Structure 1
Amino acid sequence: MPGMNLTRAEASTRAELLNVDSYEVSLDLTRGERVFTSKTTVRFTAAEGSSTFIDAVTDTVRSINLNGVELDPAEVSDGIRIQLPNLAAENVLTIDADALYMNTGEGLHRFVDPVDQEVYLYTQFEVADCRRMFAVFEQPDLKATFQFTVTAPKYWNVISNAPTPEPDEHGEAATWIFAPTQRISCYITALIAGPYQVARDSLVSSSGRTVELGVFARASMMEYLDVENIVTITRQGFEFYEKNFGTPYPFEKYDQLFVPEFNAGAMENAGAVTFLEEYVFRSRPTGAMVERRAITVLHELAHMWFGDLVTMKWWNDLWLNESFAEFMSTLAAAQNTEFTSAWTTFNTLEKNWAYRQDQLPSTHPIVAPINDLEDVEVNFDGITYAKGASVLRQLVAFVGQEEFMAGVREYFAKHAWSNTELPDLLSELEAASGRDLSDWGAQWLETAGVNTLKAEIDTDASGTITSFTIRQTAVDEYPTIRQHRLAVGFYSLDEAGTLKRVHREELDISGEATAVDSLAGLQRPDLVLLNDDDLTYAKIRLDELSLATATEHLKDFEDSLPRTLVWSAAWDSVRDAEAPASVYVQLLLNNIGHEVDSTVIMVLLRQLNTSLDNYVASEHSTDLSVQAADRLWQLANEAQAGSDAQLQLAKAFAHRSRTAEQLDLVQALFDGTQSLDGLAIDTDLRWSLVIALSAGGRLTDEQIDAVLKKDDTAKGKASWYTARASRPTRAAKDEAFEAATAATLSNDQQSAIIAGFNNVHDASLIADYTEKYFGLLIKSWETFSHEMAKQIVLGFYPSSQVSQQTLDQTEAFLGSLGEKHPALRRLLTESAADVRRALAARGADA
């Protein structure tokens, strides 16, 4: 949206002029479905005689009073910023305005539950959307206290950062006057309001203080909320973090709220964390989803210290915020919860994301230049989260975990309630570990790209190793050769046919070749695994003998992490067009039935879809796709009754069903004339079958509508949108394209329609939407909010049209774009890179 951007230079200038003391924000939420009253009083100091602006995205500004002087809204407000001339040394500013409810998952989001027609509100302010709710100096380094007064229907629950006070009732409404917060950044303030239901508990902090816990959901979802599990994970997180951080939990209470139509996984609002409602399981969840929820709970809890108590000065250190929380949540899960294989999950999910992101043309150093808010919006990426967390894991291996935590403890002690930059943390880690991190930081944080490691092994006639060298390479565009702290694992088959680790060597490597003399004289094992235990961030390639062992005995690893490292190496080889995708598909289908880690199964099935739809050569993709679906049905039948694997394989079969016989089986599961022992056709699985049948042309509109009547909920409506958009007709695709690019849908509805639009058995059905897509991009980008525009850009990009023509069309559009909209350019460049990679993979497969 024009005018919504803020540059780092503007923020820096404003921070030099101002110190903000406090905000008093009064909101009236009883004025209807479009707007609410937002009255803000800000107290701040400034350089006398200077001028600046305050951010306020408004519908109407009634009055602006600066130090007793009324300013004319027509002269100083443009609906996004309010200009503040001739500031005093001490300033009091009061702005009385109307602000707009949003339905995009940004600002103050308003949702009406179709089950009971009740209104539910929640805020989402990161990166810069609290200005949609109240007037604010919107940047993380202008910390202040925030005091909220909220008028709402008296039967609502109203939650913010401070504990909820007793309301003052007046007629059908009530007013809640919250106490001021501690000094925090504006983007972690929060308001959640509506007839949310709550389960309460408490814990005793390391300081001896009792911390009240609340777990909230909509009334129609509360029965499905696994409160006990969430509270257990929360307690384990508190225990782990307070011990390792050496700082008691910094806020007064800790509420966790599961809210509808949320754009992200969760948001670390201080003391009032909001979560994606997908984490409330109406139907039987996969183990992967339960573990993902636990990691997310731990991630957001880590932010209470790293991000909320101590906050980055500007968004260039966003990576450190997110990487730290991502690393710590996995460490806490592995060391203090039931999810002891969390590092396996991290490798298969997070690192695969990082490797993909780091090989796109838009890759960037972890410490990226962030010139403005548009840069931030597209930097919530695999570098910021997953590569950063991977590099922190490497840093911990480099300095030692206890030394790392000692540095973190000192960092929190010195910088509580303030803003910092990366050197503030690194200096504490250097002091605690005795390691000079200047070169480490230059290698890992200031350069882009991923290295590849491979072992060169010589043996004598008896199989004794005579030399062992680790070769490190980098691509020409990003040639940095890094220092790595890693482990080498030797694995051999025992008498029972199990691949067990028989030796482990941990060492530092650097340069293009590192001789590992300590391994000379040892018997060569059946498989050599570089980066055993996944300590560093690098792709690995197996030597010839190890690859042969892995191919035959992938299912026979004793532990999940080494097996997952081999899976990742195989997938990297396909993505890099070094190995045929068809061979990988067969490897996957031959071994996935032996996997027991739910997240690994989930990711492998995603990779199966990508391989069949994008990477397998077109001349045999149809036949292989049919074979894959048949094999998935066989595996679902062979899986343990009621198991997680059975559920995932059954859903995967339904999604990949193409032939009449396969769709007949899906229809029989839906009708109940066919069953799998232990597999209950619950609400969510039923919708998966409906969507598959719709894509196969097996259901009428009336039949799809009939399923909605049995599940007329928000989730049911979203699934209905997907099912309708999945119908294999031009009319259905036209309807979907028009609906998702209009401004009448919520973020969830738009996303659901786009998913259905792309759910096709034959990609040619949607091939000629490409021209229409490029024709509406500029208007969409300039008209929609960032989240909605981004869904259009990525969701309708013709990724399924794997051809040079798609690349040419993209390049032509980018050429016409000129220097405008760099964030849009990045999204399109990344999408085109995926098509380019798919073309190379198809060439390798052919």
Structure 2
Amino acid sequence: MPALTRAEAETRARLLDVRHYAIALDLTRGEELFGSSTVITFTARSEGETFVDVKPATLHRATLDGHELDPGSLSDNRLPLRLTAGEHRLEIETDMRYSRTGEGMHRFTDPADGETYVYTQLFMEDVQRFIAAFDQPDLKAVFEVTVTAPPEWTVLGNGVAERIAGTEDRWSIAPTPPVSTYLLAVAAGPWHSVRSEHAGLPFGLHCRRSLAPYLDADADELLDITRRCFDRFGELFTEPYPFDSYDQAFVPEFNAGAMENPGLVTFRDEFVYRSAVTDTERQLRGMVIAHEMAHMWFGDLVTLRWWDDIWLNESFAEYMGYQVLSEATGYTGTWTDFAVARKGWGYDADQRPSTHPVAPAPEAVPDTASALLNFDGISYAKGASALRQLVAWLGDKQFLAGINDHFTRHRFGNATLADFIDSLGRATDRDVHTWAEQWLRTTGVDTLQPTVTGTPEGWQLEIGRTGGRPHRIDLGLYDRAPADHGRLVHRDTVRVDLPAGTDPQSFALSGPRPDLVLLNDGDLTYAKVRFDEESWDTVTQALSGLSEPLTRAVVWNAARDLVRDARLAPAAYLALARTHLPMETDLAIVEGVLGFAATQVADRYVSAEERPAAQAVLADLSRDLLCSSADGHRLAAARSLLGAASDAAELHGWLAAGRLPDGPELDHELRWRLLLRLAVLGAVDDAAVSAELVRDPSAAGEQGAARCRAALPDPAAKQAAWAALFEGDELSNYLFNATAQGFWQPEQLGLLQAYIPRYYPAAMATAARRGPALAEAAGRHAFPVHAVDRETLRLGRQCLRDGDPVPAFRRALADQLDDLDRALRVREVGAC
């Protein structure tokens, strides 16, 4: 189907004033199709031609002002309309297809109990898979929905949903205020619900029945976080919460983390924890709750006009999610987690050829296909980092005043970057327009390099730089404790402003030079930081002796950047982790360092010959953490050990015992991790996987089994997994991802070699056939990340050059190839 262009959207917005959608859904027509009837009332400002978006299985009937339209005129999911000036009523009756890829109306049958659930994900351009609509964000309207569903189902929507009196199978959802088409939401099924009330509004939590015990166990925590964040947003924002209820539905096989549908936020139901999780994971769940709630204002009340301004949604929600969670709940370490786990996502994306500004120029986002590619680490992590820097530069009071002015001026309407900057400008005397140009319209990561010299009166710091953004940063000055050189004492924090430009900046400071000079202490800006030689020596010997977790996170991030930039050998990073991680008290840092060490250093940045030694370091480190750490650390260590262990007999012993020595009991999640490692090592067979699936016949169990079967080092198992991925369309999005994740393994280089040249044409065809969500998955999860060699890179570049990949796959593949090229450069340094 053709992507909607910005020019087409602007033309249609000039022509139409859309007021109301009346939608009737019939969810009782079987497993493949549902009925969708739409009545749209709108005004044409002048005579003209336009189209309505609809992607039906069957278009039964369409009328405009009572006159029949030819269903055969539907082409490329566009039904043409010839309009006179004035009021119009468009009626369209269709059958629509349920989705298995998480787009449109997704249908899922729970293997645990056979119950079926459906829910919508209509982001960007998928509303046409659900109803007929003028699908673009600046044609807001009121939506009024009725639903026919099986009698045992519950229906949820953007407004309060009630069963129609005198019926068993019909529901009415309260009309919305004016909202954009992509924010329409319906979820239906035999939900397990926990209902409450707060601030005079109904609040609800919903999940599959098979997850009911796990939701009930966490309901108090979830509702407490929801209420606290709701109240905090009420204190920060002058505009009241704009909708009539607040439901949170945890839905199966969800492609994103969550979606900000007004009044009905949908989350991936992995957030309903079946197995033990760390406090960092609970904090992340809380952040996502706060993030999506922020969208009720940033995105739902005030919505972007076109997709070039997606940062007005995501960057703000990301920033507010971390900030509000830290202010309103007991999760006060959110910015440490952001620094060590989230920010690297932005740094990585910003150093690839596919980078783009936080707020790209309008001409850079000409259609919805290109816009979809911008939902990445730049729109989220870099944008949130830029806002954190803006607050440091502008001040909290002025920032909030600008936000509230923005909400008041554009409530239930649409706005642009220029509109927002105007609102900020009304709240301050600072030149926010220039700041926005320097930060939001530019690409790339600045790098700050200190040079320290001594003088008779004190010492001098020169900060050299690449990249020309202005920065307000804190300099952290630390000395080794006289009685314990492994402990660092904070001497002072000095705030400095680096003006725009690339000229080095010099600062004269009193006293002896510190043992450690840390640029961007507190992580207020978005930039890579380096160390002078003496400071790096101090880091290698005393990193764990820094008292503040956020300071340590900045140092670990800098070490990560040094490895990625081929300035620090991978083995040196592992040595740093081996030395200092056993003393680390912050769980987010432990998880972030272990994750990078495993998935990047051991799996990609060291050679096949060096990998066993790297795995051994990780295994030894994980064992130390198991023995010496708190419960949350032990769980993180157990996961790390199960990924690095190489002794099959030892693994079998743990499985038989039902626990790790000095570690946690093996719940469902840990058992599947252990079985996956055994599968990779060739120490179990398909029968063992089937037996585990009998033990855990859940959706997560099905995914675990698919992952393990694809990981078996058996030619028949590999061929079966390959066929499921690329030669059929039966796999749902989650089973596709699980199978892809299991297929490529670094330990199986010889067995997998013949599949590498087959990957590119097969994945390209699958991406074209199965839509954007599976296209992105084919490039991300199904890419042979283990094959770090020049031939893999050459074949991939040839595919990009000579093939014709759909945009989602092209972007994912281009990013993978850039990461592969980087891994090759890192290996060259590590071998020196």
Give the shorter-chain TM-score range.
over 0.9
* 1:644 counterpart (632, 635, 640): 632
Q: What are the Cα deviations for residues 599-641 of structure 1, in whole angstroms up to 9, with x where unaligned?
A: 222221221121012112444333332343244234323434x
Moved more, 494-503 or 105-114: 494-503
1:751 aligns with 2:751: no
Shift of 1:808: 1.3
| 1:19-98 equivalent positions in 2, closer than 5 A | 19-74=17-72, 76-78=73-75, 80-98=77-95
Quick one: distance in 2 between partners of 1:56 and 1:669? 54
Match of 2:214? 224
Secondary structure, in 3 states, of the residue corresponding to 1:284? coil
Give the letter for the 1:281 counterpart. Answer: Y
* CA apart distance, 1:802: 1.1
Aligned to 2:162: 165
Give 1:589 deviation, angstroms.
2.0
SS of aligned partner of 2:24: strand
In the comparison of the two structures, how many residue pairs are matched? Answer: 821
Aligned partner of 1:473 among 466, 489, 495: 466
CA contact (8 A) 1:531 1:540 kept: yes
Query: What corresponds to 2:802 in structure 1?
Result: 816
Distance in 2, matches of 1:831 and 1:36, equals 38
Contact 1:726 1:760 in 2 (8 A): no
Residue pairs, 1:161-560, within 5 angstroms: 161-170=158-167, 173-204=168-199, 210-225=200-215, 226-368=218-360, 369-460=364-455, 465-474=458-467, 481-494=468-481, 495=483, 497-510=486-499, 511-517=501-507, 519-560=508-549
Aligned counterparts of 1:355 and 1:589: Cα–Cα separation in 2: 25
Within 1, Cα distance between the matches of 2:664 and 2:807? Answer: 48
State the secondary structure of the residue aligned to 1:249.
Answer: coil
State the distance in 1 between where 2:608 and 2:759 align. Answer: 24
**3-state SS, counterpart of residue 736 of structure 2:** helix
Aligned to 1:477: none
**2-side partners of 1:189 and 1:40: how far apart?**
13
Partner amino acid, structure 1, of 2:63: N
Q: CA deviation at 1:191?
A: 0.2
Cα deviation 1:406-437 (Å, max 9, x = unaligned): 11111111110000001111111122121112
SS across alignment from 1:457: strand
Label 1:198 to 1:307 Cα distance change in 2 as closer, same or farther (>3 A).
Answer: same
Report the equivalent of 2:680: 695
Residue equivalent to 1:706: 691
2:744·2:785 contact (CA, 8 Å) conserved in 1? no
Contact preservation (8 Å) 1:799, 1:834 = no
TM-score by length of 2: 0.96
2:578 is matched by which residue type in structure 1?
L
Deviates more, 1:775-784 or 1:568-577: 775-784
1:487 aligned partner, one-letter code: D
Aligned-partner Cα distance in 1 for 2:376–2:420: 22
- Relative distance call for 1:391 and 1:787 in structure 2 (3 A) is same
Q: Which moved more, 1:695-704 or 1:411-420?
A: 695-704
How far has the Cα of 1:833 moved from its partner?
0.6
Matched, 1:129 2:111: no
For the residue of structure 1 that corresponds to 2:134, the secondary structure is coil
Mapping 1:599-614, distance limit 5 Å? 599-609=588-598, 610-614=600-604
Amino acid in the other structure paired with 1:535? L
- Unmatched 5+ stretches in structure 2: none
Q: Is residue 469–residue 513 contact of structure 1 (8 Å, CA) maintained in 2? A: no
Alignment of structure 1 residues 135-146 onto 2, 5 Å:
135-146=132-143
- Secondary structure of 2:754's counterpart equals helix
Which amino acid is 1:89 matched to? G
Structure 2 Cα separation of the partners of residues 280 and 816 of structure 1: 44
* 2:585 matches 1:596: yes
Residues 774-814 of structure 1: per-residue CA shift (max 9 Å, x gap): 22244223211210122112223232211111121122222
3-state SS in 1 of match to 2:558: helix
Q: Is the 8 A contact 1:162 1:179 kept in 2?
A: yes
Deviations 1:623-664 (A, max 9, x none): 332343244234323434xx1111111121111223xxx222
Question: What is the CA deviation profile of residues 292-319 of structure 1, one whole-angstrom value per residue up to 9, with x for unaligned ones?
Answer: 1000000000000110000000000012
**Pair 1:11 & 2:1 matched:** no
Q: Does 1:669 align with 2:654?
A: yes
2:826 aligns with 841
* Equivalent pair of 1:168/1:174 in contact (CA under 8 Å): no
Q: Which amino acid aligns with 1:219?
A: R
Structure 1 residue 719, shift from structure 2 partner: 0.7
Conservation of the 8 A alpha-carbon contact between 2:779 and 2:816 = no
Q: Is the 8 A contact 2:741 2:782 kept in 1?
A: no
Structure 2 CA distance for aligned equivalents of residues 373 and 549 of structure 1: 50
Does the 8 Å contact 2:476/2:492 carry over to 1? yes
Q: Percent identity?
A: 38
Q: Distance in 2 between matches of 1:795 and 1:737?
A: 13
Partners in 2 of 1:732 and 1:309 — Cα distance?
Answer: 51
Cα deviations across residues 4-25 of structure 1 (Å, max 9, x unaligned)?
Answer: 4211111111111111010000
1:562 aligned partner, one-letter code: T
For 1:492, the aligned partner's letter is D
Moved more, 79-88 or 646-655: 79-88
Any idea what SS the aligned residue of 1:153 has? coil
Match of 1:478 in 2: none
Distance in 2 between residues matched to 1:486 and 1:422, nearest whole Å: 25
Shift of residue 169, structure 1, vs aligned partner:
4.8
Conserved? CA contact 1:286–1:648, under 8 Å: yes
Structure 1 position 727, deviation (Å): 0.7
Cα deviation code 1:517-571 (max 9, x no counterpart): 4x42233222111111111110000111111111111111111000110001111
In 2 relative to 1, CA 53–674 (structure 1 residues): closer, same or farther, beyond 3 Å?
closer
- Contact between 2:519 and 2:529, CA under 8 Å: does it hold in 1? yes
1:477-523 deviations in whole A, cap 9, x for unaligned? xxxx1111111111223345532322111121123345454x42233
Give CA-to-partner distance per residue, 1:457-486, whole Å, 9 cap, x none. 11147xx63322211114xxxxxx111111
> What is the aligned-residue RMSD (CA, Å)?
1.6
Unpaired stretches in structure 1, ≥5 consecutive residues? 205-209, 475-480
In structure 2, C-alpha distance between the alignment counterparts of 1:107 and 1:562, rounded to whole Å: 44
* 1:631 to 1:504, Cα distance in 2 relative to 1, 3 A: closer
